[in-house]
Amino acid sequence: MRASSLVEHCATVVAVVLLAAAAAAAAARTKDECHSGDKAALLAIKSAFGNASYFNSWTPDTPCCEWANVSCDGSASPYTARRVVGVSLVNDASLAGPLPGAAIARLTALQQLVLNYVPGVNGSIPRDLTRLNATLSFLDIISTGISGPVPSFLSEITALSYLSLSSNKLTGSIPASLADMPNLYFLDLGYNRLTGTIPPQLLRKGSYLYLSHNKLTGSVPAEFAAVNFWTIDLSYNGFKGDASFLLGANKPLLNLDLSHNAFSFNLSGVQLPEGLNSLELSHNEIYGDIPEMVVDMMLNYLNVSYNRLSGVVPAGGNMAWFDQSCFQHNKGLCGSPLPPCKQ
């Protein structure tokens, strides 16, 4: 080989190697690159928050599936771009301003949106989120500065199965439209400033319901007797009336918290669900006796203090775990761990 051709040959090899390396790098980039519309939407979200430092990894020249707090689906094929399915804005007190609904709605494959402890994010819940009606199944807006109502348009997001709007500044009543959501099984509206009553058909199938620490009133809808709840927390509201139908021998109920309300019913004849784990009834106007069957259950928590119960505290089983604070301030309860009954 002549010297010049050797040089040419080497140059070709180097070029091929370089091209291969470049292609591999491009492939790696493409692998983590998301749909261009999703990338533009994410950059619009970043810009809406004034390009806050939270979004430092969200830069146009890097693949967006690698950006912090962004998740993508697996790519369907080497030729289709990955879609952004999750975005979370968490633990940042410096993020401020309204939720950029229009930009978020441009993430047309979004399944999970999580805001948790971003107290500077304020304004109301934007209607644009309803454009994600077919994809958004998990929505957390927790510990933010968001105010205004629980919008009735949330029911248009038919894909939604998990909705937590706890610890915000939401006011007004619970919209009856939420009862129309076909996939909703988890609803947490706790720690807001909600008023009014619980819509009768709020949840209709197996469900978790958290409404604690609001200003809700009225009684528990009789329709709830037919719903298979796993957890119900209605504590710290202004509810009254009978809620004993939430209990019942064959229910799947695991946790019930009715504490700090004005519920008033006779506990004596109530059948407790077999699998019940925790029963918090303190600070109500509940009367009658503690059902003897508590001794046969695997309760991990029981508190019936500050009611109008009477009779002997049942003894045996897990009952030994519960100290007098769980039974104090009742009308006529007696027996260990309370003082002995008078003959």
Ligand X SMILES: *[C@@H]1O[C@H](CO)[C@@H](O)[C@H](O)[C@H]1NC(C)=O
Residue pair 44/100 in contact by the 8 Å Cβ criterion:
yes
Question: Per CB under 6 A, which region of 184-192, 212-220, 301-309, 313-321 contacts ligand X?
Answer: 301-309
Q: How far is the C-alpha of 157 from the C-alpha of 181, rounded, in Å?
A: 8
One DSSP character per residue, 60-121 reads TTS-GGGSTTEEEPPPSSTTSPBPEEEEEEES-TT--EE--HHHHHT-TT--EEEEEEEEEE
Q: How far is the C-alpha of 307 from the C-alpha of 286, rounded, in Å?
A: 5
The answer to the question of residue 53 lying near ligand X (CB under 6 A) is no
Nearer to ligand X, 6 or 68 (CB): 68
Nearer to ligand X, 68 or 320 (CB): 68
- Least distance from C-beta 302 to ligand X, angstroms? 9
Nearer to ligand X, 153 or 185 (CB): 153
Nearer to ligand X, 68 or 249 (CB): 68
The answer to the question of residue 122 lying near ligand X (CB under 6 A) is yes
**Which of 20, 68, 249, 341 is in the footprint of ligand X by CB under 6 A?**
68
The answer to the question of residue 332 lying near ligand X (CB under 6 A) is no
Burial class (CB in 10 A: 0-12, 13-18, 19+), 112: middle
Please give the C-alpha separations between residue 46 and each of 39, 51, 53, 95, 126, in angstroms, as whole numbers: 11, 5, 9, 10, 17
Residue pair 308/287 in contact by the 8 Å Cβ criterion:
yes
- Least distance from C-beta 124 to ligand X, angstroms? 7
Nearer to ligand X, 180 or 274 (CB): 180
How many CB atoms within 10 Å of residue 118?
A: 26
The answer to the question of residue 56 lying near ligand X (CB under 6 A) is no
Residue pair 258/280 in contact by the 8 Å Cβ criterion:
yes
The answer to the question of residue 248 lying near ligand X (CB under 6 A) is no
**Which of 32, 44, 66, 69 is in the footprint of ligand X by CB under 6 A?**
69
The answer to the question of residue 63 lying near ligand X (CB under 6 A) is no
The answer to the question of residue 271 lying near ligand X (CB under 6 A) is no
- Least distance from C-beta 223 to ligand X, angstroms? 24
Chain position carrying tokens 């695991």:
254
Q: Which residue's CB comes closest to ligand X? A: 269
Q: How far is the C-alpha of 258 from the C-alpha of 143, rounded, in Å?
A: 23
Nearer to ligand X, 136 or 187 (CB): 136
**Which of 18, 26, 76, 134 is in the footprint of ligand X by CB under 6 A?**
134
**How many of the chain's residues bind ligand X (CB under 6 A)?**
26
The answer to the question of residue 255 lying near ligand X (CB under 6 A) is no
Residue pair 228/251 in contact by the 8 Å Cβ criterion:
yes
**Site residues (vs ligand X, CB under 6 A):** 47, 50-51, 68-69, 88, 90, 96, 120, 122-123, 133-134, 158, 266, 268-269, 282-283, 287-288, 303, 305-306, 325-326
